[in-house]
């Protein structure tokens, strides 16, 4: 009986260690995604300084050699979500990108779900 209890406790400890490791790994990836987004925001500001507006897509940053294509992927291998917000200049000219929203789809790789990283 004592051996069965000891075995059960050992199995529970192993399961807790595995689950804890998965959660810790996921937390590290989320922190890495936040750091990558901070770096992308610096590149977006550099693009703004060069062009007078934010890009229409993140790929424009790679075209200008401000980032590599690999830097456009989050830690889960999905592209970062970039949504440009356009401003009407009121002068009949093309609308410009005045601001943006940047996020990661997170571990589930699905946009607009609760595990997204802002």
Does residue 99 form part of some domain? yes
Please report the pLDDT score of residue 17 as a whole number. Answer: 47
Indicate if the alpha-carbon torsion angle 62, 65, 70, 75 is positive or negative: negative
Tally of domains within the chain: 1
In a domain, 55, yes or no: yes
Q: What is the DSSP letter of 66?
A: S
Question: Which of 92 and 110 is assigned the larger pLDDT?
Answer: 110
Other CB atoms within a 10 A radius of the CB of residue 39 amount to 12
Q: Give the model's confidence band at 88: pLDDT under 50 very low, under 70 low, under 90 confident, else very high.
A: confident
Question: Nearest-CA neighbor of 86 among 73, 97, 76, 94?
Answer: 97
Query: Is 46 among the domain residues?
Result: yes
Residue 89 scores a pLDDT above 80:
no
Show the domain range for 73.
32-103
Distance CA 13, CA 96 (A): 56
Q: What is the pLDDT of residues 11-58, one digit of tens each?
A: 444 544 444 444 445 689 999 999 999 999 999 999 999 999 999 999
Average pLDDT of the chain? 84
Q: For residue 117, count CB atoms less than 10 angstroms from its CB and return exposed for 0-12, middle for 13-18, buried for 19 or more.
A: buried
Q: Which among 42, 51, 113 has a CA at the least distance from the CA of 71?
A: 42
């Amino acid at each position: 009986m004592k051996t069965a209890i000891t075995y059960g406790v050992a199995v529970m400890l192993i399961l807790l260690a595995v689950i804890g490791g998965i959660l810790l790994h996921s937390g590290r990836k989320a922190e890495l995604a936040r750091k990558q987004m901070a770096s992308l925001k610096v590149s977006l500001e550099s693009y703004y300084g060069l062009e007078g507006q934010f890009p229409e897509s993140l790929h424009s940053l790679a075209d200008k050699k401000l980032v590599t294509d690999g830097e456009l992927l989050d830690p889960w291998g999905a592209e970062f979500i970039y949504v440009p917000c356009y401003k009407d200049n009121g002068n009949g000219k093309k609308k410009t990108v005045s601001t943006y929203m940047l996020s990661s789809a997170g571990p589930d790789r699905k946009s607009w779900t609760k595990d997204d990283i802002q």
